[in-house]
Amino acid sequence: MLIDPVRNCHLTYCSNIHPGESWPDVRATLDERLPAVRRQLGWAGPMGVGLRVAAQAAETLRGQAAFDDLKALLAARELYVFTINGFPYGPFHGTRVKEDVYLPDWREPERVRYTLNLADLLAGLLPDMDGLAGSISTVPGAFKARVSDAEHVQQMVRGLSRCVRHLAELERRTGKRIVLALEPEPCCYLETIEETVRFFEEHLFAQEPVAALAKQLGESKAVAEHAMRTYLGVCLDLCHAAVEFEDAGQCASALAGRGIAIHKVQISAGLRFTHVGEQTQALLEPFQDAVYLHQVVARTSDGHITRYTDLDEAFTALPDAAPATEWRVHFHVPIFLDDMGAFSSTQPFIAEMLAHHREKPLSHHLEVETYTWNVLPEQFRNMSVDEAVARELAWTRIRALPAQDAQTQDA
């Protein structure tokens, strides 16, 4: 099964591996791809969905006819939506995405409108299931190079506060709790766990935005701060965290210790080169593509960190790399891969994080996310997408469930 009923944890995969720009794209994913993955796994019963809905599709689904069609399709296929990927606003496959994937960012009203549309959609889809909340993952504020002054930060705070107000009113009206999860990523405004904690504490939970929200809600400051902490949290992407050399044992505790919820864990792996050298560029060139940004984080033996926005920038710096430098690369590879020949993946970080989850849940929402299948080098793409996703889910289920439950379900 895809649910850990004892701890109310739901496991799915993110449909951003498939097209999701239009409502027909989303419909085809639900009608064809999700059932195909379920057949590969041999799982019966309701299956949770991590749905990617772009702005165009979200706008169409505001219409009653399209929404009713979606509800009927979910019921017919025994699917339920508990999380939405609200990160990519527009096209995400087959065209240049790179740093534009963050646009519109949280400085811009279009990002707010899009996110509110997704919240309304998810509230209408979320099943009544043991107090299940719905989550929406979103961009980490903005691409870091685009945040140049304090006003940009305040624009992001105002946009996120507007969403909190809407989500609080939405729960009052519908009884459905929808939460928003900011997803830290290399080279973005929210990049590390430390930066994320600082942003929440110094900007979102600060006196001024809390007072403004209290006035808008007609509530006390205590109620407003509770709303900020309830409806805003983090999407912890394990590829991003591993690429940033985060400590697996401290990621969750650093957030929990400051009252910042992990609303979703995205289970993904990046590339790891334990020693860079003459062959590193040749080994990485097959992973260089014109679609996605592949940030590189380099760490020397003495702990010094250098970040590169994309592979070409890292290649330029390669001749000057210090001895014993390790590179980690933001390129999502199937999580069941570890040894990839002359290099490896960050799979051990995932295993360590899921071991922590088995002891104490990191989040109620677990989502496998390997969206780069179409640009993955051919030698690592030797099965169908459906087979690969099913294998990733099976790999995760064994490691995410308590040992006794996992053994029982796999018997």
**410 falls in which pLDDT band (50, 70, 90)?**
very low
User: How much is the mean pLDDT over the chain?
Assistant: 94
Q: What stretch of H or E contains 194?
A: helix 193-199
Six-digit token pair at 9?
A: 């944890």
Give Cβ neighbours of residue 377 (< 8 Å, ≥ 6 apart).
Answer: 286, 287
109: preceding bond cis by omega (within 30 degrees): no
Measure CA of the first residue to CA of the last residue in the chain; give whole Å: 12
Is residue 1 scored above 70 in pLDDT?
no
Q: What is the mean pLDDT of residues 191-211?
A: 97
Is residue 409 scored above 70 in pLDDT?
no
Of 111, 107, 194, 120, nearest to 157 by C-alpha is 107
Backbone phi and psi for residue 307, each to the nearest 5 degrees, phi listed first: -115, 140
**4 falls in which pLDDT band (50, 70, 90)?**
confident
State the CATH class of domain 3-269+345-410.
alpha beta
pLDDT of residue 6: 62
pLDDT of residue 165: 98
Q: pLDDT tens digits for 155-182? A: 999 999 999 999 999 999 999 999 999 9
Q: What is the DSSP string of 228-243?
A: HHHHEEEEEEHHHHHH
pTM of the model: 0.96
Helix (H, G, I), strand (E, B) or coil at 12: strand
Six-digit token pair at 271?
A: 């590339």
- CA separation for the pair 344, 350 (Å, rounded): 13
Sorted by where each begins, the domain ranges of the chain are: 3-269+345-410
Q: What is the mean pLDDT of residues 277-304?
A: 95
DSSP strands (E only) in 56-173:
79-85, 134-138
Q: What stretch of H or E contains 169?
A: helix 150-174
